[in-house]
Structure 1
Amino acid sequence: MGASGWDYFVAYQPDLNEALRALRDKVLAEGDYWWAVPGKPASAYGNRPRSFAELFADEGVQTDGTHSILDMDHVLADGEDPDYGTVQPVTDDEALQYAGTKTLTREHVAAIDDLVTRRWFGRCAILHDASGTPNEIYFWGYSGD
């Protein structure tokens, strides 16, 4: 089947891992991921998993993933190497190179989307409002088989 792209906008908070955790909790609760049938959201099933332990105990999820942010484990710290299931923040240098500014906004999302270059990997970027104040976090990536 292949990987699926996904993206999410969440309210800004300084702790990117906490933002990821809250987003994952929301996606799980809403059933906004693939589970029993590829291409059909888990929310279509009354018997879908309700906890991470239950979800990731499923053999299909272990091999094929959820095609969502649920496949990501944590946001990388500075200097930590990207790996399977991780989210890497956009650096100032990348923001300057791809968007022409270190202060990214929603208008810059298209310019940075290509920074995800492999499957089972995500990125995140802090997006600012018109006054330059951090306003949102954009998470995006590809996962699933």
Structure 2
Amino acid sequence: MHRVLRPGEDPDYGTVQPVQPAEAHRLTGTDRPARAHVQLMEPLAERRWFGRCAVLHDAEGRPQEIWFWGFSGD
């Protein structure tokens, strides 16, 4: 991965697309997903050669970590 996309940019080879609040809310019921929500967001990485990332929050809603996932083209 060599670049994080800005909102509205199309995914391309070697890029990472952050999960937008509306996507997180649609899949998890909150715009501040936590580690417990990662399985619900996994389907967002549906294409080869690009990844997704999401800020995960603690029980108080504070940013805690960044989760990256996706697929290689192999």
- Could you say which TM-score interval applies, normalised by the shorter chain? over 0.9
Equivalent residue for 2:67?
138
**Is 1:77 aligned to 2:6, yes or no?**
yes
The answer to whether structure 1 residue 106 and structure 2 residue 35 are counterparts is: yes
SS at match of 2:59: coil
Which of the two has greater strand per residue? 2
Structure 2 match to 1:95? 24
Pick the aligned partner of 2:47 from 118, 127, 131: 118
Within 2, Cα distance between the matches of 1:115 and 1:78?
A: 15
Q: Distance in 1 between matches of 2:41 and 2:70?
A: 11
Map of 1:46 onto structure 2: none
Consecutive unaligned residues of structure 1, counting only runs of 5 or more, are 1-71
- Give the aligned residue type for 1:139: F
Q: CA deviation at 1:80?
A: 1.7
Q: Secondary structure at the match of 1:95?
A: helix
Could you say which structure has the larger radius of gyration?
1
- Aligned-pair Cα RMSD in Å: 0.9
The structure carrying a bigger helix percent of its residues is 1
- Seq. identity, %: 61
Give me the TM-score of the superposition, normalised by structure 2.
0.94
